[in-house]
Structure 1
Amino acid sequence: MSRRLCAIMFTDIQGYTRLMQESEKSAVAVRHKHRSIFDPLTKQFGGEIIQYYGDGTLSIFDSTVKAVECAQALQTEFLKEPAIPVRIGIHTGDIIITEDDIIGDSVNLASRIESLGVPGSVLVSGKVADEIRSQEHLPLQKIGSFHFKNDSLKRQVFALDLPGFSKPDIGVIQGKLEDSEKKKTLLSPFWKTLIYGGIAGLVIFLLWNVYQASFSATVGKQLAVLPFTNLANDPAQSYLVDGIHEAIISELLQAGIDVKPKTTMTSYRNTGKSPGKIAQELNVNVLVEGSVLRQDDAIQITISLLDGLGDKYLWSDTYDSEMTDLMVLYRDVTRSIAGEIQVALAPQVEARLSTVTKLNPEAYDLYLRGREQFNLGTAENLQRAVTYYEESMAIDPEFDPIYTALIETYLLMGFGGIDPYEAHTNFRISMEKAMSHNPDLKADHHLQAMIKIFSDWDWTGAEKD
């Protein structure tokens, strides 16, 4: 590691997630245009691109003036029709250079300054403003003084004041500020929750669809697993019931069985619709019903198959297990369902299903609580999910799904209003831990597709995975 004094620039494309939802083709075109502008101009002004993360970039410059001139040139190009809604933030200070990243308080501050921006804006710190004060071609307008998260000082923030460039409205400004310093906004808590939930739903939708694409070769029965019934009628056990429901869907997917994702099925809880109606809406021909009863560490699960066309039961069985053997139970259920719908399992799938995996009850319980928080999808829930996952990992670091769960969570955090650079850094750390813990994860197509989509923007590679 080494230290260096430099100007740090963050950029991100605002609304990129929504654009992906509306048109993948348009999103890819925006990304290509962004890079075709960003790469050559950064090099032209002597910048060094450190990394692309999600829908943003991090780069450094030896000259503060050159960094702001580069930001001006970038924003001028981004604003040309069809415009790319980019916000830019710059700070200057001491950084620590690692093998493949840069860290330090100055990096964090630059990220927080960028978070206050709006599309078409270039925001800089007071320190940057002091260094370019004599540059008449780079006029600035003070936006205000702000107390950022995890920062003991109030920081002045300025905006590049040029024709066509935007500046945030101090009355509705958004960003990574301490709660006590946040301004009143036009968004009510209801709408914030709705927006976070929509982003969460989109990312989960993308992850599941990438996951399903890996196993689309199955021909024949299409399944939908209805939300399981909590026989204990205890709301405190809902996380367990939902976690078992999600785990069985995951096992069916990994076995190559065509099954609807959990996110699709949530709306059918207590729906009152007939099995035939649900099957028609989902375009499936087999429904899976289930119920869960827990007494201490003893788990009883009943699974039934229904003919989606004839509204009749095809098969049913009950499974009893201790918490430590739940993974074996999931795989027994998967094997039974595959047999009943006459799906031939590949030899490698049979080998995996035959593997005996013991669970640590306490660690797995924490993991399921984390899954519950993750599926809720708000910023606060995601942070709670990380806490549960880390506690679970501390108890049982050998449990592979916990690593993928952390990676998914940090990815979602990066698109849900939390510091994207911080979330991406945590994502990379989690990914490296996962690969170090289990080298076989390098062959995990689901994981590799997530990395390629949200870290490398490699849609072609993700589609192959």
Structure 2
Amino acid sequence: MADVVGYSRLVEQDEAGTLSALKNLRYDILDPLLSDHRGRMIKLLGDGFLAEFASVVDAVNCAVAVQKQAAAGQAEIAPERRIVLRIGINLGDVVVEDHDLLGDGVNIAARLEQLCEPGGVLISGTAYDHLQGRFGLPLDYAGEQQVKNIARPVRAYRVDFDGTRQPWRMRFRPYSRRLRWAAALAAIVLVAGASWSAFMRSGAAPGSTSNRPSVAVLSFDDMSGNSAPTYYGDGVAEDIISMLSRVPDLKVVARNSSFTYKGRPVDVRQVGKELGVTHVLEGSIRKDADRLRIVAQLIDAKTGEHVWAERFDRSGTDPWALQDEVTEKIVADLVGDIGTLKKAQYRDAWGKDSTSLQEYDYYLRAHDLLTRLQLEPTEQARQVSIEGLSKFPGSALLKLELGYAYFVRGWNGWSQDPTADYRQAGALVREALAQPAPSPMERRLGHFLSAFILSTERKFELALGEAEAAIDLSPHDVYMLAALSQISVMAGNTEQALEWIDRAASLDANPEISQELAVYRGWTLAVSGKYEESLAAFSGDHDTESTFGPVMRAIVLNRLGRTEAAAAELGKALQIDPKFTQAKWRELSFYSDPTIVEHEIADLASLGLPEK
């Protein structure tokens, strides 16, 4: 839905000129762009229009193109006479009546258009969730909007046209038991085996079905009976995934794969075939005050028959206890003789002594915001964590989450004082790990974050020790292996970095993790001086949202004497972040050998990158 800002004023000043300008806008810009993006004009509204698209990507790309061409075409016109649009986009059900569209799907788009800033594009959360990884501009979180005649709040996101809020590099993703569970639509597979060497000897290909039992946990439906967001059901399901990933002789598919089926009817047999698993767990969750109920059913993915279906209830202070029951039931049925997997040993691997449901809820809310990987949600996550700590001042979990918020802000170039943010993050991690008997989960999260914080302080030997401690606690975790390879590169241990990258690649061939590994591998080989191999590795990087990949490719190509191609790659980086400079690269680069960054700066300077 779109309308013209200040239409009545424009008509009052110059009715004929305004109507003529609107006619030209439609025939010169709007109609051709609708055709190019497979859109359909539903109706004109005097000062606006309603259009329909079969694809969210087409709708948003068309809206951006309309705004850019409308602005460019009126650059010579006085600001007070320009035709400026606001555009709202929603993905939702509609009612078709004659040649019109009605219903909440249209109403929400109309309300978003009214909330949109002049010249902007505002999209709903449902559209945002289907857009991840398929759109080249940043999307800034605009909060939950209460709109007229719609009972539930509507999540909203602004299109950032100039891209200045994009991270400078492959984004630091807060490691926890949920990786990107607000937005990701691709898979990361976590394989839990008796040992790494045993898995390698088995010769089983990642993602393939073998004699070893495997399970995909689908997103749990939230049946709480109120307007609570789905993060709670998602979070519990991913906790179960992470718990299962530690079990010997059981393969578990991570949420970024199994959650792609969220919100739509599925054939479990098709899920099993597509994900290469023998079993599927699905269910629902209901949270009411201090009571938690999970209804779960384990299904044979080959036959579609139920292995079991049970209801688990828990009240009081320990949400993990309920998840333990579900997880142990799955293990008992799938692995058979569980041997050493006794409850005490299992709880020693993953459990906490006690956590209140309210504390856990703060943790899930903050993490949902953090994993959106944008400035505004990161700030909101920080505030949620601070609020949670005001009620639970001893919570190690919330201290770690708040530490991640501070670190992410600095690491992604969003901070006015990154050094202060890193210092604050480090203090919070130390406080969390100083708590009496932190759980293995908390220790793992703490070691992971400490490795990055110590790298920013250029304490690389200590950083490597923290990275190794984190990996020891979760040796088959694909994302952890991939992300921590960065620590080894910065510390100058490129052989170890490649070893961790290779291990992660062997565990998961999914396109999303493969793309990240391409960046890590290309960077590692570039630092090692293996430029042709680096360039070949970077060929698997298709990320259009961060500057790090194209900048590193520019450096490598320049060193190979291919200056024209190098300049083109640098141009791609500047399209993503027009304010990118030598100073920013220096500020956000950490190497044990300071000559590495100076040589990189010299390459970029020779290609025309400004100093400041």
TM-score, length of structure 1 as denominator length: 0.50
CA distance in 1 between counterparts of 2:235 and 2:243 reads 12
Within a 5 Å distance, the mapping from 1:93-108 to structure 2 comes to none
Equivalent of 1:238 in 226, 230, 236: 230
CA distance in 2 between counterparts of 1:422 and 1:372 reads 24
Counterparts in 2 of 1:325 and 1:445: CA distance versus 1, 3 Å:
closer
Counterpart residue number, 1:247: 239
AA partner of residue 434 (structure 1): A
Does 1:270 find its partner at 2:263?
yes
Q: Write the deviation string for residues 401-444 of structure 1: whole angstroms up to 9, x where unpaired.
A: 33333344344333333224343222211111112224656993
Equivalent pair of 1:442/1:448 in contact (CA under 8 Å):
no
Counterpart residue number, 2:424: 426
Counterpart residue number, 1:384: 380
Equivalent pair of 1:303/1:318 in contact (CA under 8 Å):
yes
Q: Write the deviation string for residues 106-125 of structure 1: whole angstroms up to 9, x where unpaired.
A: xxxxxxxxxxxxxxxxxxxx
Within a 5 Å distance, the mapping from 1:60-71 to structure 2 comes to none
Counterpart residue number, 2:408: 412
Counterpart residue number, 1:362: 358
Give 1:301 deviation, angstroms: 0.8
Q: Write the deviation string for residues 42-69 of structure 1: whole angstroms up to 9, x where unpaired.
A: xxxxxxxxxxxxxxxxxxxxxxxxxxxx
Within a 5 Å distance, the mapping from 1:115-126 to structure 2 comes to none
Report which stretch shifted further, 272-281 or 308-317: 272-281
Q: Write the deviation string for residues 444-464 of structure 1: whole angstroms up to 9, x where unpaired.
A: 345424433564365697365
CA distance in 2 between counterparts of 1:193 and 1:242 reads 31
Equivalent of 2:195 in 217, 222, 225: 217
CA distance in 1 between counterparts of 2:256 and 2:188 reads 14
Equivalent of 1:462 in 456, 463, 467: 467
Q: What's the secondary structure of 2:230's corresponding residue?
A: helix
Counterpart residue number, 1:189: 160
CA distance in 2 between counterparts of 1:379 and 1:223 reads 35
Within a 5 Å distance, the mapping from 1:148-227 to structure 2 comes to 188-189=159-160, 192=163, 195=166, 204=175, 212=190, 217=195, 220-227=212-219
CA distance in 2 between counterparts of 1:211 and 1:254 reads 13
Does 1:298 find its partner at 2:291?
yes
Q: Write the deviation string for residues 121-167 of structure 1: whole angstroms up to 9, x where unpaired.
A: xxxxxxxxxxxxxxxxxxxxxxxxxxxxxxxxxxxxxxxxxxxxxxx
CA distance in 2 between counterparts of 1:234 and 1:193 reads 37
The structure whose residues are more often strand, as a share, is: 1
Give 1:349 deviation, angstroms: 6.3
CA distance in 2 between counterparts of 1:215 and 1:394 reads 40
Counterpart residue number, 1:393: 389
Q: What's the secondary structure of 2:277's corresponding residue?
A: coil
Counterparts in 2 of 1:414 and 1:268: CA distance versus 1, 3 Å:
farther
CA distance in 1 between counterparts of 2:356 and 2:344 reads 24
Q: Write the deviation string for residues 279-325 of structure 1: whole angstroms up to 9, x where unpaired.
A: 23322222110201233432221111122222222121101122523
Counterparts in 2 of 1:431 and 1:393: CA distance versus 1, 3 Å:
same
Counterpart residue number, 1:130: none
User: Which structure 1 residue ranges, 5 or more long, are not aligned?
Assistant: 1-186
Equivalent pair of 1:434/1:441 in contact (CA under 8 Å):
no
Give 1:201 deviation, angstroms: 8.0
Equivalent pair of 1:441/1:447 in contact (CA under 8 Å):
no
AA partner of residue 313 (structure 1): H
User: Aligned Cα RMSD in Å?
Assistant: 4.0
CA distance in 2 between counterparts of 1:396 and 1:345 reads 37
Equivalent pair of 2:319/2:357 in contact (CA under 8 Å):
no
Counterparts in 2 of 1:231 and 1:203: CA distance versus 1, 3 Å:
closer
Q: What's the secondary structure of 1:437's corresponding residue?
A: coil
Counterparts in 2 of 1:370 and 1:188: CA distance versus 1, 3 Å:
closer
Equivalent pair of 1:246/1:262 in contact (CA under 8 Å):
yes
Counterpart residue number, 2:347: 353
Equivalent pair of 1:200/1:416 in contact (CA under 8 Å):
yes
Counterpart residue number, 2:434: 436
CA distance in 1 between counterparts of 2:299 and 2:335 reads 14
AA partner of residue 467 (structure 2): A
Equivalent pair of 1:222/1:284 in contact (CA under 8 Å):
yes
TM-score, length of structure 2 as denominator length: 0.39
Equivalent pair of 1:403/1:434 in contact (CA under 8 Å):
yes
Report which stretch shifted further, 374-383 or 311-320: 374-383
Counterpart residue number, 1:143: none
Counterpart residue number, 1:47: none
Counterparts in 2 of 1:461 and 1:268: CA distance versus 1, 3 Å:
same
Does 1:373 find its partner at 2:369?
yes
Counterparts in 2 of 1:287 and 1:452: CA distance versus 1, 3 Å:
same
Counterpart residue number, 2:273: 280
Counterpart residue number, 1:77: none
Give 1:204 deviation, angstroms: 5.0
Counterpart residue number, 1:451: 450
Equivalent pair of 1:287/1:307 in contact (CA under 8 Å):
yes
CA distance in 2 between counterparts of 1:302 and 1:217 reads 32
Give 1:373 deviation, angstroms: 1.6
Q: What's the secondary structure of 1:301's corresponding residue?
A: strand
AA partner of residue 240 (structure 1): Y
Counterpart residue number, 1:261: 254
Counterparts in 2 of 1:204 and 1:273: CA distance versus 1, 3 Å:
farther
Give 1:227 deviation, angstroms: 0.7
CA distance in 2 between counterparts of 1:258 and 1:191 reads 43
CA distance in 2 between counterparts of 1:283 and 1:460 reads 36
Counterparts in 2 of 1:258 and 1:323: CA distance versus 1, 3 Å:
farther
